[in-house]
Structures are given as structure tokens and as C-alpha cells.
Amino acid sequence: MFVATSLSTSCIDDKSNSEVKLITADEMQSILDLEDVQLVDVRTPEEYAEVRIANSQNIDFTSPTFEEDITKLDKEKPVILYCQGGVRSAKCAKKLEEAGFEKIYDLEGGISKWKHSKKIKIEEES
């Protein structure tokens, strides 16, 4: 009886139905292929200009207008977040969760982990 009870309780004491899922580049590509997804780079505009994942949009997590900027996203559409190494995107994921977004994915390790991989399409400043 104790085991069944402990398995049914969630580690997340979250009042919303959202959940942040850490994903690999393979998983991200599958999600992009299958779903209508909002791909968001949360780094600074300067970092974004240098190198970014193709078809992403830039919403700077450190910007004073960040809270306002995320209101332009659709809460009902899945969101994939990434940054340089995973720290900012994890913080941003929490903010989106608190704002009521339904499906939030966070690219594990950020763009630095995957930019030399053939798994995702990268655009670089020439």
C-alpha cells in the first residue's frame, strides 16, 4: 500500500497542469517535426546574432521587458527553450510554468552542448 501511494504522488507541488521536460537534440528535432512549436532562444540579442538554432525567436531572459515579451507567446502551444548552457532556459521555464504555459521543453545543456552536433540546424553569423 505504501509503495502505491508514494508512486502516485508527484515531486512537483505545482497547481498548474504544466510540466517542464528536459529534452535532447534528438527529442527536440522530433517535437519540431511533429508539433507546431514555439522555439525560443532566451540568450541576449548579441549571443543570438552570433549563433542560433534555425527558426528560433529571441526573447532575452535578462531583458527588463522579459515578462511582457513572454505574453506574446501562445500559452496553449508547446514551447522549446534554450540558452547557452541550460541555466537561463531553466529559470525561464519556471517563469513560463508560473504564467500558465501548458507544454514547456528545455534543451538539455543549451546550444553549447549541441551546436557541433548534426542533430539540429544551426545558423551562424558569417
- CA 28 to centroid of chain Cα atoms: 10
Question: 110 vs 5, 16, 65, CA distance in Å?
Answer: 35, 25, 22
Cβ atoms 70, 45 nearer than 8 A: no
Q: Which residues are catalytic?
A: 83
| Residue 97: closest CA among 39, 21, 42 | 21
